[in-house]
């Protein structure tokens, strides 16, 4: 297993390479660089929020393992099924459900200014 230069990143590079369909790691790295280059040039300018808004994306087993590892820090986070896997992210609740009952007119009825 190869590890990232960052100690806090968990990536099984050999498994990732296999899942992406590459025979060797160097071919995967080369293709990845091309994808990034193409994306920067604007060929794929569509943002996929699961990669920026989610804590973990992958199989159900992987997201459960990450949620368990986070312990109390995972409070309020949910595992949700998405198109091609699962994601661990904060539940989406509207602010209005919480704030509407608290909002009221605080100005005096008869302002004599």
Would you state the pLDDT for residue 27? 92
Query: Of the candidates 92, 90, 88, 91, which has an alpha carbon nearest to the alpha carbon of residue 62?
Result: 88
d(CA 44, CA 69): 33
Identify how many contiguous H helices and E strands the chain contains and give both numbers: 5, 3
Distance CA 26, CA 23 (A): 9
> How many degrees, rounded to 5, is the angle at CA 49 between CA 28 and CA 87?
80
Phi, then psi, of 75 in degrees rounded to 5: -60, 130
The stretch 45-58 carries a mean pLDDT of 75
Distance CA 58, CA 11 (A): 11
The CA-atom distances, in angstroms, between 85 and each of 39, 62, 70 are 23, 10, 20
**61-90: pLDDT as tens digits:** 999 999 999 898 888 889 999 888 899 988
Residue 4 reports pLDDT greater than 80: no
């Amino acid at each position: 297993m190869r590890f990232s230069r960052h100690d806090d990143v968990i990536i099984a590079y050999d498994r990732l390479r296999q899942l992406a369909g590459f025979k060797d790691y160097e071919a995967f790295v080369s293709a990845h660089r091309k994808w990034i280059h193409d994306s920067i040039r604007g060929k794929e300018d569509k943002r996929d929020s699961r990669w920026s808004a989610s804590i973990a994306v992958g199989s159900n087993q992987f997201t459960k393992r990450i949620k368990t590892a986070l312990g109390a820090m995972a409070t309020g986070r949910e595992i949700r099924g998405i198109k091609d896997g699962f994601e661990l992210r904060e539940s989406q609740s509207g602010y209005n459900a919480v704030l509407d009952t608290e909002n009221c007119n605080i100005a005096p009825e008869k302002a004599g200014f």
